[in-house]
Structure 1
Amino acid sequence: MTPNDRDLLGAAERGDADAVRAAITAGANVETHDRHRRTPLLLASLGDHVAAAEALVAAGADPNAQDDRDDSAWLATGVTGSVRMMRALLPAKPDLKLTNRFGGISIIPAAERGHVEYVRALLRETDIDVDHVNRLGWTALLEAVILGDGGRAHQEIVELLLAAGADPGLPDGDGVTSLEHAERRGFTEIAGLLRAAD
Protein backbone atom coordinates (compact mmCIF):
# COMPACT_ATOMS: atom_id res chain seq x y z
CA MET A 1 0.00 0.00 0.00
CA THR A 2 1.34 3.42 -0.97
CA PRO A 3 1.22 6.51 1.25
CA ASN A 4 -1.43 7.93 -1.11
CA ASP A 5 -3.53 4.80 -0.60
CA ARG A 6 -3.24 5.19 3.18
CA ASP A 7 -4.23 8.86 2.86
CA LEU A 8 -7.28 7.86 0.81
CA LEU A 9 -8.45 5.27 3.33
CA GLY A 10 -8.05 7.76 6.17
CA ALA A 11 -9.82 10.55 4.32
CA ALA A 12 -12.73 8.27 3.39
CA GLU A 13 -13.11 7.05 6.96
CA ARG A 14 -13.08 10.65 8.27
CA GLY A 15 -15.42 11.82 5.54
CA ASP A 16 -13.01 14.46 4.21
CA ALA A 17 -14.14 14.75 0.60
CA ASP A 18 -11.42 17.28 -0.33
CA ALA A 19 -8.71 14.96 1.02
CA VAL A 20 -10.33 12.04 -0.86
CA ARG A 21 -10.08 13.98 -4.13
CA ALA A 22 -6.52 15.08 -3.35
CA ALA A 23 -5.39 11.50 -2.66
CA ILE A 24 -6.99 10.28 -5.89
CA THR A 25 -5.35 13.09 -7.85
CA ALA A 26 -2.02 12.12 -6.25
CA GLY A 27 -2.42 8.58 -7.60
CA ALA A 28 -4.19 6.63 -4.87
CA ASN A 29 -5.93 3.44 -5.94
CA VAL A 30 -9.69 3.84 -5.36
CA GLU A 31 -9.91 0.08 -4.75
CA THR A 32 -7.16 -0.04 -2.13
CA HIS A 33 -8.28 -1.70 1.09
CA ASP A 34 -7.35 -1.99 4.74
CA ARG A 35 -6.46 -5.20 6.60
CA HIS A 36 -10.15 -6.11 6.74
CA ARG A 37 -10.46 -5.60 2.97
CA ARG A 38 -12.60 -2.49 3.47
CA THR A 39 -12.29 -0.12 0.52
CA PRO A 40 -12.46 3.67 0.83
CA LEU A 41 -16.03 3.59 -0.50
CA LEU A 42 -17.10 1.03 2.10
CA LEU A 43 -15.51 3.12 4.87
CA ALA A 44 -17.31 6.22 3.61
CA SER A 45 -20.60 4.32 3.43
CA LEU A 46 -20.26 2.90 6.94
CA GLY A 47 -19.65 6.42 8.28
CA ASP A 48 -22.45 7.92 6.12
CA HIS A 49 -19.95 10.34 4.59
CA VAL A 50 -21.96 11.17 1.48
CA ALA A 51 -19.69 13.81 -0.07
CA ALA A 52 -16.65 11.52 0.25
CA ALA A 53 -18.63 8.66 -1.30
CA GLU A 54 -19.73 10.88 -4.18
CA ALA A 55 -16.09 11.79 -4.87
CA LEU A 56 -15.16 8.10 -4.88
CA VAL A 57 -18.08 7.14 -7.13
CA ALA A 58 -17.07 9.91 -9.54
CA ALA A 59 -13.58 8.33 -9.62
CA GLY A 60 -15.03 4.92 -10.51
CA ALA A 61 -15.07 3.20 -7.11
CA ASP A 62 -16.85 -0.16 -6.99
CA PRO A 63 -19.94 -0.22 -4.70
CA ASN A 64 -19.88 -4.04 -4.76
CA ALA A 65 -16.35 -4.66 -3.40
CA GLN A 66 -16.76 -6.82 -0.30
CA ASP A 67 -14.63 -6.96 2.82
CA ASP A 68 -13.71 -9.98 4.92
CA ARG A 69 -17.23 -9.99 6.45
CA ASP A 70 -18.90 -9.81 3.00
CA ASP A 71 -20.03 -6.23 3.59
CA SER A 72 -19.95 -3.78 0.68
CA ALA A 73 -20.64 -0.06 0.39
CA TRP A 74 -24.06 -0.86 -1.07
CA LEU A 75 -24.98 -3.53 1.49
CA ALA A 76 -23.94 -1.17 4.29
CA THR A 77 -26.72 1.25 3.29
CA GLY A 78 -29.30 -1.37 4.30
CA VAL A 79 -27.73 -1.51 7.77
CA THR A 80 -27.34 2.25 8.26
CA GLY A 81 -30.62 3.10 6.51
CA SER A 82 -29.06 6.13 4.83
CA VAL A 83 -31.22 7.22 1.90
CA ARG A 84 -28.66 9.87 0.93
CA MET A 85 -25.90 7.28 0.73
CA MET A 86 -28.14 4.89 -1.19
CA ARG A 87 -28.75 7.63 -3.77
CA ALA A 88 -25.05 8.55 -3.87
CA LEU A 89 -24.22 4.95 -4.80
CA LEU A 90 -26.96 4.34 -7.37
CA PRO A 91 -25.03 6.03 -10.23
CA ALA A 92 -22.28 3.40 -9.68
CA LYS A 93 -24.84 0.71 -10.58
CA PRO A 94 -24.64 -1.44 -7.44
CA ASP A 95 -25.52 -5.11 -7.76
CA LEU A 96 -28.94 -5.35 -6.12
CA LYS A 97 -28.54 -9.14 -5.87
CA LEU A 98 -25.23 -8.99 -3.97
CA THR A 99 -25.57 -10.82 -0.64
CA ASN A 100 -24.10 -10.31 2.81
CA ARG A 101 -22.73 -13.02 5.09
CA PHE A 102 -26.29 -14.07 5.94
CA GLY A 103 -27.22 -14.42 2.28
CA GLY A 104 -29.37 -11.30 2.43
CA ILE A 105 -29.67 -8.30 0.12
CA SER A 106 -29.80 -4.69 1.35
CA ILE A 107 -33.57 -4.52 1.92
CA ILE A 108 -33.50 -7.33 4.50
CA PRO A 109 -31.43 -5.65 7.26
CA ALA A 110 -33.25 -2.40 6.52
CA ALA A 111 -36.61 -4.10 7.13
CA GLU A 112 -35.31 -5.72 10.31
CA ARG A 113 -33.97 -2.43 11.70
CA GLY A 114 -37.08 -0.38 10.93
CA HIS A 115 -35.51 1.93 8.35
CA VAL A 116 -38.82 3.08 6.86
CA GLU A 117 -37.61 5.85 4.57
CA TYR A 118 -34.80 3.69 3.21
CA VAL A 119 -37.18 0.84 2.41
CA ARG A 120 -39.61 3.30 0.80
CA ALA A 121 -36.88 4.87 -1.37
CA LEU A 122 -35.34 1.52 -2.29
CA LEU A 123 -38.69 0.14 -3.44
CA ARG A 124 -39.48 3.30 -5.39
CA GLU A 125 -36.08 3.85 -7.02
CA THR A 126 -34.80 0.32 -7.72
CA ASP A 127 -36.14 -3.05 -8.81
CA ILE A 128 -34.85 -4.87 -5.72
CA ASP A 129 -36.29 -8.35 -5.16
CA VAL A 130 -38.79 -8.01 -2.28
CA ASP A 131 -39.06 -11.78 -1.88
CA HIS A 132 -35.34 -12.60 -1.76
CA VAL A 133 -34.75 -15.38 0.79
CA ASN A 134 -31.57 -15.33 2.90
CA ARG A 135 -29.68 -18.29 4.35
CA LEU A 136 -31.87 -18.23 7.46
CA GLY A 137 -34.89 -18.80 5.22
CA TRP A 138 -36.18 -15.28 5.79
CA THR A 139 -37.44 -12.57 3.43
CA ALA A 140 -37.53 -8.85 4.28
CA LEU A 141 -41.17 -9.32 5.32
CA LEU A 142 -40.31 -12.19 7.63
CA GLU A 143 -37.40 -10.25 9.17
CA ALA A 144 -39.60 -7.22 9.79
CA VAL A 145 -41.94 -9.46 11.80
CA ILE A 146 -39.50 -11.89 13.44
CA LEU A 147 -36.82 -9.37 14.41
CA GLY A 148 -38.92 -6.20 14.54
CA ASP A 149 -40.70 -4.81 17.59
CA GLY A 150 -44.19 -4.62 16.10
CA GLY A 151 -44.21 -0.83 16.42
CA ARG A 152 -45.16 1.83 13.90
CA ALA A 153 -41.91 1.67 11.90
CA HIS A 154 -42.19 -2.07 11.34
CA GLN A 155 -45.88 -1.74 10.58
CA GLU A 156 -45.07 0.80 7.87
CA ILE A 157 -42.36 -1.44 6.45
CA VAL A 158 -44.80 -4.36 6.27
CA GLU A 159 -47.27 -2.07 4.46
CA LEU A 160 -44.57 -0.92 2.01
CA LEU A 161 -43.38 -4.46 1.29
CA LEU A 162 -46.90 -5.74 0.72
CA ALA A 163 -47.71 -2.80 -1.55
CA ALA A 164 -44.55 -3.62 -3.54
CA GLY A 165 -45.75 -7.19 -4.08
CA ALA A 166 -44.08 -9.10 -1.25
CA ASP A 167 -45.67 -12.52 -0.86
CA PRO A 168 -47.21 -12.80 2.64
CA GLY A 169 -47.58 -16.56 2.21
CA LEU A 170 -43.86 -17.30 1.91
CA PRO A 171 -42.91 -19.28 5.03
CA ASP A 172 -39.58 -19.40 6.81
CA GLY A 173 -37.35 -22.47 6.77
CA ASP A 174 -39.59 -24.12 9.38
CA GLY A 175 -42.76 -23.53 7.38
CA VAL A 176 -44.00 -20.64 9.56
CA THR A 177 -45.52 -17.66 7.73
CA SER A 178 -45.22 -13.96 8.56
CA LEU A 179 -48.83 -13.98 9.78
CA GLU A 180 -48.18 -16.87 12.16
CA HIS A 181 -45.08 -15.12 13.52
CA ALA A 182 -47.05 -11.88 13.99
CA GLU A 183 -49.83 -13.71 15.83
CA ARG A 184 -47.34 -15.55 18.06
CA ARG A 185 -45.64 -12.28 18.98
CA GLY A 186 -48.90 -10.43 19.62
CA PHE A 187 -48.35 -7.94 16.79
CA THR A 188 -52.07 -7.25 16.24
CA GLU A 189 -51.66 -4.43 13.71
CA ILE A 190 -49.14 -6.32 11.58
CA ALA A 191 -51.25 -9.48 11.73
CA GLY A 192 -54.19 -7.44 10.45
CA LEU A 193 -52.15 -6.11 7.53
CA LEU A 194 -50.98 -9.60 6.62
CA ARG A 195 -54.50 -11.08 6.85
CA ALA A 196 -55.82 -8.36 4.55
CA ALA A 197 -53.06 -9.06 2.02
CA ASP A 198 -53.38 -12.85 2.03
Structure 2
Amino acid sequence: MPSATVSPFEPPALSPEDQADVDRQLILAAKANDPTRVRQLIDAGGNVNAKDDLQDSAFLYAGAEGFNEVLQLTLAAGADVRSTNRYGGTALIPASEHGYVETVSILIAAGTDVDHVNNLGWTALQEAILLNDGGPNQVEVVRQLLEAGADPDIRDVEGRTALQNAERLGFTAIADLLRSS
Protein backbone atom coordinates (compact mmCIF):
# COMPACT_ATOMS: atom_id res chain seq x y z
CA MET A 1 0.00 0.00 0.00
CA PRO A 2 1.52 3.37 -0.98
CA SER A 3 2.19 5.78 1.81
CA ALA A 4 0.08 8.88 1.98
CA THR A 5 1.93 12.08 1.36
CA VAL A 6 1.13 15.08 3.44
CA SER A 7 0.93 18.22 1.37
CA PRO A 8 1.55 21.61 2.86
CA PHE A 9 -1.56 23.56 3.72
CA GLU A 10 -2.92 25.45 0.77
CA PRO A 11 -5.58 28.07 1.33
CA PRO A 12 -8.81 27.68 -0.59
CA ALA A 13 -9.11 29.15 -4.06
CA LEU A 14 -11.21 32.28 -3.82
CA SER A 15 -13.20 34.23 -6.36
CA PRO A 16 -11.70 37.65 -7.17
CA GLU A 17 -14.40 39.34 -5.07
CA ASP A 18 -13.82 37.02 -2.10
CA GLN A 19 -10.05 37.43 -2.43
CA ALA A 20 -10.38 41.22 -2.35
CA ASP A 21 -12.61 40.98 0.74
CA VAL A 22 -10.25 38.64 2.61
CA ASP A 23 -7.28 40.83 1.68
CA ARG A 24 -9.12 43.95 2.92
CA GLN A 25 -9.98 42.20 6.19
CA LEU A 26 -6.35 41.08 6.54
CA ILE A 27 -5.06 44.63 6.20
CA LEU A 28 -7.61 45.84 8.76
CA ALA A 29 -6.62 43.06 11.17
CA ALA A 30 -2.95 44.00 10.75
CA LYS A 31 -3.77 47.66 11.38
CA ALA A 32 -5.62 46.59 14.54
CA ASN A 33 -2.54 44.57 15.60
CA ASP A 34 -4.69 41.44 15.91
CA PRO A 35 -2.35 38.47 15.31
CA THR A 36 -5.07 35.89 15.92
CA ARG A 37 -7.28 37.37 13.22
CA VAL A 38 -4.29 37.90 10.91
CA ARG A 39 -3.42 34.20 11.22
CA GLN A 40 -7.03 33.21 10.49
CA LEU A 41 -7.17 35.42 7.41
CA ILE A 42 -3.82 34.17 6.10
CA ASP A 43 -5.11 30.62 6.57
CA ALA A 44 -8.25 31.63 4.67
CA GLY A 45 -6.13 32.74 1.71
CA GLY A 46 -5.38 36.37 2.55
CA ASN A 47 -2.50 37.85 0.59
CA VAL A 48 0.00 39.58 2.93
CA ASN A 49 1.27 41.64 -0.04
CA ALA A 50 -2.13 42.97 -1.13
CA LYS A 51 -2.40 46.75 -0.69
CA ASP A 52 -5.23 49.07 0.22
CA ASP A 53 -5.95 52.52 -1.23
CA LEU A 54 -3.16 54.02 0.94
CA GLN A 55 -0.68 51.47 -0.47
CA ASP A 56 -0.48 49.71 2.91
CA SER A 57 -0.25 45.93 3.03
CA ALA A 58 -0.52 43.83 6.18
CA PHE A 59 3.27 43.39 5.99
CA LEU A 60 4.14 47.05 5.37
CA TYR A 61 1.83 48.31 8.09
CA ALA A 62 3.04 45.80 10.69
CA GLY A 63 6.65 46.72 9.96
CA ALA A 64 6.00 50.46 10.02
CA GLU A 65 4.12 50.28 13.31
CA GLY A 66 6.31 47.75 15.11
CA PHE A 67 3.59 45.10 15.32
CA ASN A 68 6.15 42.32 15.54
CA GLU A 69 3.89 39.30 15.96
CA VAL A 70 1.84 40.33 12.94
CA LEU A 71 5.07 41.13 11.09
CA GLN A 72 6.41 37.63 11.76
CA LEU A 73 3.16 36.09 10.54
CA THR A 74 3.32 38.06 7.29
CA LEU A 75 6.94 37.12 6.74
CA ALA A 76 6.14 33.45 7.31
CA ALA A 77 3.35 33.79 4.75
CA GLY A 78 5.67 35.12 2.05
CA ALA A 79 5.74 38.88 2.52
CA ASP A 80 7.79 40.65 -0.13
CA VAL A 81 10.49 42.55 1.81
CA ARG A 82 11.08 44.70 -1.30
CA SER A 83 7.50 45.95 -1.25
CA THR A 84 7.16 49.72 -0.90
CA ASN A 85 4.62 52.05 0.66
CA ARG A 86 3.07 55.23 -0.71
CA TYR A 87 6.34 57.06 -0.01
CA GLY A 88 8.34 54.52 -1.99
CA GLY A 89 9.90 53.18 1.20
CA THR A 90 10.31 49.66 2.49
CA ALA A 91 8.96 48.68 5.93
CA LEU A 92 12.47 49.17 7.33
CA ILE A 93 12.42 52.93 6.74
CA PRO A 94 9.46 53.85 9.01
CA ALA A 95 10.50 51.18 11.54
CA SER A 96 13.89 52.89 11.75
CA GLU A 97 12.29 56.33 11.96
CA HIS A 98 10.19 55.22 14.94
CA GLY A 99 13.10 53.51 16.70
CA TYR A 100 11.48 50.07 16.74
CA VAL A 101 14.65 48.17 17.64
CA GLU A 102 13.20 44.64 17.49
CA THR A 103 11.26 45.37 14.29
CA VAL A 104 14.40 46.69 12.62
CA SER A 105 16.22 43.52 13.66
CA ILE A 106 13.44 41.34 12.21
CA LEU A 107 13.39 43.25 8.92
CA ILE A 108 17.17 43.18 8.55
CA ALA A 109 17.19 39.43 9.23
CA ALA A 110 14.45 39.00 6.60
CA GLY A 111 16.70 40.60 4.00
CA THR A 112 15.22 44.08 3.62
CA ASP A 113 17.55 46.37 1.66
CA VAL A 114 19.19 48.64 4.25
CA ASP A 115 20.15 51.20 1.60
CA HIS A 116 16.81 51.54 -0.17
CA VAL A 117 16.07 55.21 -0.89
CA ASN A 118 12.43 56.34 -0.66
CA ASN A 119 10.67 59.03 -2.69
CA LEU A 120 11.75 61.66 -0.15
CA GLY A 121 15.39 60.79 -0.81
CA TRP A 122 15.99 59.11 2.54
CA THR A 123 17.30 55.71 3.59
CA ALA A 124 16.41 53.96 6.84
CA LEU A 125 19.62 55.39 8.32
CA GLN A 126 18.72 58.95 7.34
CA GLU A 127 15.15 58.61 8.68
CA ALA A 128 16.42 57.16 11.95
CA ILE A 129 18.36 60.39 12.40
CA LEU A 130 16.21 63.05 10.76
CA LEU A 131 12.79 62.11 12.08
CA ASN A 132 13.39 61.24 15.72
CA ASP A 133 15.11 62.44 18.87
CA GLY A 134 18.53 60.76 18.78
CA GLY A 135 17.70 58.79 21.92
CA PRO A 136 18.79 55.28 22.95
CA ASN A 137 16.44 53.47 20.56
CA GLN A 138 17.66 55.58 17.65
CA VAL A 139 21.27 54.88 18.61
CA GLU A 140 20.54 51.15 18.63
CA VAL A 141 18.72 51.31 15.29
CA VAL A 142 21.65 53.17 13.73
CA ARG A 143 24.05 50.58 15.18
CA GLN A 144 21.98 47.72 13.71
CA LEU A 145 21.76 49.38 10.31
CA LEU A 146 25.51 50.01 10.21
CA GLU A 147 26.26 46.42 11.28
CA ALA A 148 23.95 45.25 8.47
CA GLY A 149 26.03 47.21 5.97
CA ALA A 150 24.07 50.44 5.61
CA ASP A 151 26.07 53.01 3.68
CA PRO A 152 26.50 56.13 5.85
CA ASP A 153 27.70 58.15 2.87
CA ILE A 154 24.40 58.11 0.97
CA ARG A 155 23.34 61.75 0.89
CA ASP A 156 19.84 63.08 1.49
CA VAL A 157 18.12 65.50 -0.89
CA GLU A 158 19.93 68.39 0.83
CA GLY A 159 23.26 66.72 0.02
CA ARG A 160 23.99 65.78 3.63
CA THR A 161 25.38 62.47 4.86
CA ALA A 162 24.01 60.71 7.91
CA LEU A 163 26.98 62.00 9.93
CA GLN A 164 26.37 65.58 8.86
CA ASN A 165 22.71 65.30 9.89
CA ALA A 166 23.56 63.71 13.24
CA GLU A 167 26.09 66.47 13.97
CA ARG A 168 23.71 69.20 12.81
CA LEU A 169 20.98 67.88 15.11
CA GLY A 170 23.34 67.43 18.08
CA PHE A 171 23.00 63.63 18.23
CA THR A 172 26.47 62.99 19.66
CA ALA A 173 26.09 59.25 20.30
CA ILE A 174 24.86 58.65 16.76
CA ALA A 175 27.59 60.84 15.29
CA ASP A 176 30.19 58.86 17.27
CA LEU A 177 28.78 55.59 15.88
CA LEU A 178 28.90 56.94 12.35
CA ARG A 179 32.46 58.16 12.74
CA SER A 180 33.59 54.74 13.94
CA SER A 181 31.83 52.85 11.13
TM-score by length of 2: 0.87
**1:30 CA displacement:** 4.2
How far apart are the structure 1 equivalents of 2:81 and 2:171? Answer: 30
How far apart are the structure 2 equivalents of 1:134 and 1:179? Answer: 19
Match of 2:9 in 1: none
Match of 2:74 in 1: 89
8 A Cα contact 1:60 1:92, kept in partner = no
Match of 2:20 in 1: 31
Structure 1 segments of 4+ aligned residues over 4 angstroms from their partners: none
How far apart are the structure 2 equivalents of 1:90 and 1:68? Answer: 22
The superposition leaves residues 29-64 of structure 1 with CA deviations (integer Å, 9 ceiling, x where unpaired) of 24217xxxx711100100110011011111221111
Match of 2:84 in 1: 99
- The AA in structure 2 aligned to 1:143 is E
The superposition leaves residues 160-196 of structure 1 with CA deviations (integer Å, 9 ceiling, x where unpaired) of 0001110011111221100000000000000000011
How far apart are the structure 1 equivalents of 2:126 and 2:133? Answer: 12
Match of 2:114 in 1: 130
Q: Does 1:64 align with 2:52?
A: no
Q: What's the Cα RMSD here?
A: 1.7
> Residue 164 of structure 1 is aligned with which of 143, 148, 151?
148
- The AA in structure 2 aligned to 1:90 is L
How far apart are the structure 1 equivalents of 2:48 and 2:113? Answer: 18
Consecutive unaligned residues of structure 1, counting only runs of 5 or more, are: 1-23
- The AA in structure 1 aligned to 2:18 is N
SS across alignment from 1:31: helix
Q: Output aligned runs, 1:1-198, within 5 Å.
A: 29-32=18-21, 39-124=24-109, 126-197=110-181
**1:121 CA displacement:** 1.8
How far apart are the structure 2 equivalents of 1:105 and 1:45? Answer: 17
How far apart are the structure 1 equivalents of 2:83 and 2:58? Answer: 11
Consecutive unaligned residues of structure 2, counting only runs of 5 or more, are: 1-11
How far apart are the structure 2 equivalents of 1:122 and 1:139? Answer: 14
Give the total of aligned pairs: 167
TM-score by length of 1: 0.80
SS across alignment from 1:29: helix
8 A Cα contact 1:96 1:105, kept in partner = yes
How far apart are the structure 2 equivalents of 1:30 and 1:84? Answer: 23
